[in-house]
Amino acid sequence: MRMLDGAIDVKKTNLAVIILQKNEKLHIKRCLEKLAPLAPRQIFVVDCFSTDGSDRIAAEMGATVVSHEWPGNQATQFNWALDNLTIEANWILRLDADEYLYPETIDELRGLVTDGGLPPSVTSLSLSRARHIFGGEIRHGKEIEIVRVFRRGCARYAQTEMDEHLVVDYGRNYKMRGRFVDHSLMPFAEWRAKHRDYAKREAQMAVSGRCNANKRLYYKLPRYLRALMYFSLRYFVQLGFLDGLPGWRWNFWQGLWYRWIVDLEIGRLKRVCGRVSRERSERITHQNQTGETAAKCQRL
């Protein structure tokens, strides 16, 4: 079932694709099938010891599957791949298993990374994200533009627990016209459980001040009220209501519920930190009092 070899007569694109996955049986076949017209020189699937057979599916379809333990976040895992995979192509594309490229994006990308397609000063390409979730496409809202293609040796992921992003060391960026698609088929219960975990990680970053500038500004707003404000911005001002039922579900669950859960977790962490601080203060006070009492006894 080596579908990636179906384009064997097509000239290979000077591109290596790196896909991170764990238990992505729902997505990995679709992702690789849609990559076939791109005919990348190399496709690596970095698998975190999947138990659902998704590693076998990727291997049968012609991808190079490399197993590596999950280090705690995507940034570290991807940087490990950059350091340890034998990458021969000049350009690298990073995809998640639940993502794929539109046909027109593939055509544009092939032209850009072909020798002579871009000047040497261009070292990265950014794409806008299209989103399909909850049974439909989310057409309204803020456009998200992300660097996903870069010349080998020119970029690495910043070491963050959340909001992972590539940091390009040098050169210019080129904004592609085409988009990549984020299209999760994950059951809703799993999606919600996954976002509960995200909320805990984001709350830890918020409390410690490790979030980006935009989120630091957001977290200066009153807790819980900011979640309602954010939902109103997305659903009403940015016309999310025009996306019908999928738009309502997306903006409610990801724009309000998720933000509310983050705020609940921030409140919990602050209470824990406050209790620990009080206990530490009480111990120090007790030690000081004990020391003073001992000193008085010695003088007597």
Residue 260 inside a domain? The answer is yes
What pTM, to 2 d.p., does this model score? Answer: 0.88
Let me know whether 142 and 54 are in one domain. yes
Asked if residue 294 is part of any domain, the answer here is no
Its domain, for residue 240, covers 188-283
- Whether 87 and 69 map to the same domain: the answer is yes
Q: Is residue 298 part of a domain?
A: no
Give the tens place of pLDDT for each residue, 28-77. 999 999 999 999 999 999 999 999 999 999 999 999 999 999 998 999 99
Query: How far apart (Å, rounded) are the C-alpha atoms in residues 114 and 38?
Result: 12
Provide, rounded to the nearest whole percent, the portion of the chain with pLDDT above 70: 88
Binning pLDDT at 50, 70 and 90, where does residue 167 land? Answer: very high
Q: Is the pLDDT of residue 299 over 60?
A: no
Residues 207 and 148 in one domain: no
Whether the per-residue pLDDT at 9 is higher than 90: the answer is no
Contacts 24+ apart (CB under 8 A), 79-87: 79/156, 79/157, 79/159, 80/46, 81/18, 81/20, 81/44, 81/46, 82/18, 82/156, 85/16, 85/18, 85/44, 85/46, 87/16, 87/42, 87/44, 87/152
31 and 126 together in one domain: yes
Instruction: Say if residue 224 is in the same domain as residue 140.
Output: no
Could you give the CA distance from residue 56 to residue 197 in angstroms, rounded to a whole number? 27
**Cβ neighbours, 10 Å, residue 289:** 10
Are residue 31 and residue 179 in the same domain, yes or no? Answer: yes
211 shares a domain with 155 = no
Q: d(Cα 103, Cα 106) in Å, to the nearest integer?
A: 5
Identify whether 299 is part of a domain: no
Q: Could you tell me if 144 and 50 lie in one domain?
A: yes
Q: Looking at the structure, do residues 107 and 217 belong to the same domain, yes or no?
A: no
Q: Domain containing 156 — which CATH number?
A: 3.90.550.10
Q: Does some domain include residue 291?
A: no
Do residue 208 and residue 130 come from a single domain? no
292 part of a folded domain: no
Same domain as 147, residue 196:
no
Q: Give the pLDDT mean for 179-193.
A: 97
Which tokens go with 54?
Answer: 């998704």
Fill in the amino acid letter for 13.
T
Q: Domain for residue 296, yes or no? A: no
Structure tokens at 237: 């001002």
Q: How far apart are CA 141 and CA 121, in angstroms?
A: 32
Q: How many domains does the chain have?
A: 2
Co-location of 143 and 206 in the same domain: no
| Tens digits of residue pLDDT in 193-229 | 999 999 999 999 999 988 888 899 999 999 999 999 9
